[in-house]
Structure 1
């Protein structure tokens, strides 16, 4: 609902049925894998509602599912997750972005903390958000379209553009938000198209 309200306030009139986010993908994945007891590390009640079909526990979970915690991450919390993982719980992350770009400047994102947990526990995480192809494939499954006919638009070279390519989709990089020129120069990920602003998107799509 928060995301719907934010988009509506920006003039993009959508409803919740048109949004497929990482929490939805993570819940679907846990259901498919048969994980019933979940330690859910998320910052708000709305994300918890996506996992209402599961038994949410603090100890001995089948899996630890981690979402955006931002400044709520602490050493105590990370160490708790680490100990649970080395005792056999699966590590699931809603994404693995390196950083994000709020008004005050670039800030570490979930990926930095997931990488630390992977390294310490010697356990790879299952990524259910960008840049994992899982999210993109699950999101477009109801559409029945060829992957090569779908364009992913984003400002994150790794998560948006790299994720699109991993799922076999086309990509459009927007040079706003968290975009940095140096990342594009040094990356092996090459977007199919680059635009300066989202306002340029309608004209580009007319040419495609």
Structure 2
């Protein structure tokens, strides 16, 4: 750009450049990397934006903190927490909350936190709006039920969604009380749901244990 202006306009201009953001493995963040993030809420919802930073690896979060936010002292404390108590994910929570508030406001952070809690059984899934639910299921493995197609038994949906590799492993999880549909524990894998059970008339959220999610989209 600088050279073009000089050649066409004969004017002297200056450019400010910043290094590309890269992960600890050397891959780049941004449009050439998987998982593009947008500031436009129509392209990346506030929930997806929040989750993007919440899911950063421990090895990458320190560099992002230094680029985007926080004082030197705060960063040192967050990095110390990440090393000593990685399960708390304090650095990721701080980064996700700070940047989501900066771009979308404090209310968006509250909604994203509430949605995250609901997805993992700590809140009301029915209270999530359709847009947030759509953003959530976009982040997890899922299967699709086409118009006019009957809803299959739960155990078959759980396997089709990728939550389990086989009916055998799904049966074992059900027997141990480890399969949930819309945050309700499944007792009978042969049971079938109706369209009245769908969230916003469209989705079923499946969970294995505490943290592993999948979804069924009914068109």
| TM-score range for the pair, normalised by the shorter chain length | under 0.3
TM-score by length of 2: 0.26
TM-score by length of 1: 0.27
Please identify the structure whose Cα radius of gyration is greater: 2
